[in-house]
């Protein structure tokens, strides 16, 4: 298992690499109408062929990454082009975090109506009001620190999201300092399942319905230990009335599904055998590119997640019916 000093050194090396200043794709800069308490920027794309009230996927990059780089690596905007939904890419600044990590361990950035989660919530409102996005079909996904921040958004604003996908992320509300953050990343001192569930319930006064949660983690992840993936599942079991898990195999990888009492896939866990820290890709699909933290392992998380949310056709799985979320 890697040490904290090794992790810091690797982040510093990636920080020193040249980064694009703006997307090289045709994403547009979002002009949010909110106060932007978290001092974030964002890029977006909406269908150009008149799709009425498109769904929206909010995509959060990992540390050392940019919105542009993560889009190109993951293939989300290309998939959105092909199937007619909108995408939103919030982007961290070096003023907030030198390594471009979303501040998933800072209480002032993950508490409802504060900091970075509030900024992203305001961005979503702008997408709804200015670009006609369907407020009942808003989803969020992210990698690493972006995955942890996706989980924070799901916890702080469960009424906003129909579903979320957390890739190599961490459970909500388990760290409040940098040393604690590194401990949790290594899988150390994670709270018990009941404590994790209490943390989630305390994040808002929401009583349901709850967003579906898809968790993805590599079994050989040396940056964020895969104990965190199991902890995220435990955290969300507290609000979903789920049955015993159903074991499945997806492209040769372990896939566990917890259904709620209505038969909907409420929580799922993909454990990608032998994969390190990154987003799982199948580059042969035409969506995504191999690069740092974007790993070609023969299964496309981008395509799979979109299919499970009903954003793309599927002959393998029938998309669950999306429930319109109660607005506050």
Active site residues per annotation: 144
The three state secondary structure string of 239-298 is CCCECCCEEEEECCEEEEEEEECCCCEEEEEEEECCCCCCEEECHHHCCCCCECCEEECC
Q: Is 91 left (phi over 0), alpha (psi -120 to 50) or beta?
A: beta
**Residue 75, CA distances (Å) to 12, 151, 289 in order:** 26, 21, 8
What tokens appear for 269 in the block?
A: 């866990």
The Cα-based distances of 58 to 82, 147, 224 in angstroms read 17, 11, 22
DSSP single-letter state for residue 197? H
Q: φ and ψ at 36, to 5 degrees?
A: 55, 55
- How far apart, in whole angstroms, are the C-alpha atoms of residue 274 and residue 252? 11
Compute the distance between CA of residue 234 and CA of residue 247 in angstroms, rounded to an integer: 16
The CA distance from 306 to 132, in Å, is 20
Distances (CA, A) of 281 to 88, 277, 288, 318: 20, 12, 7, 22
């Amino acid at each position: 298992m890697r040490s904290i000093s090794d992790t810091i050194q690797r982040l510093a090396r990636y920080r020193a690499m040249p980064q694009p200043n703006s997307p090289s794709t045709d994403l547009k800069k979002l002009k949010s109408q909110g106060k932007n308490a978290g001092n974030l920027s964002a890029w977006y794309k909406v269908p150009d062929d008149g799709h009425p009230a498109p769904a929206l996927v909010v995509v959060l990059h990992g540390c050392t990454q940019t919105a542009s780089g993560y889009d190109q690596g993951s293939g989300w905007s290309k998939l959105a082009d092909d199937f007619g939904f909108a995408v939103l890419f919030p982007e961290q600044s070096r003023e907030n975090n030198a390594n471009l990590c979303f501040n998933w361990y800072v209480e002032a950035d993950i508490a409802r109506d504060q900091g970075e989660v509030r900024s992203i919530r305001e961005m979503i409102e702008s997408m709804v009001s200015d670009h006609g996005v369907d407020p009942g079909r808003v989803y969020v996904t992210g990698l690493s620190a972006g995955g942890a921040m996706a989980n924070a958004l799901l916890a702080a604003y469960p009424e906003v999201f129909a579903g979320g996908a957390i890739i190599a992320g961490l459970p909500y509300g388990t760290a409040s300092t940098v040393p604690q953050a590194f401990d949790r990343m290594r899988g150390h001192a994670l709270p018990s399942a009941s404590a994790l569930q209490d943390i989630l319930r305390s994040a808002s006064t929401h009583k349901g319905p709850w967003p579906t949660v898809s968790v993805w983690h590599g079994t050989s992840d040396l940056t964020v230990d895969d104990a965190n993936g199991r902890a995220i599942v435990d955290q969300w079991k507290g609000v979903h009335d789920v049955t015993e898990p159903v074991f499945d195999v997806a492209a040769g990888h372990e896939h566990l599904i917890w259904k709620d009492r209505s038969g909907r896939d409420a929580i799922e866990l993909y454990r990608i055998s032998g994969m390190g820290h990154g987003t799982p890709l199948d580059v042969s699909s035409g969506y995504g590119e191999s690069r740092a933290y974007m790993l070609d392992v023969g299964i496309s998380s981008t395509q799979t997640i979109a299919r499970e949310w009903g954003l793309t056709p599927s002959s393998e799985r029938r998309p669950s019916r999306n429930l319109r979320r109660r607005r506050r």
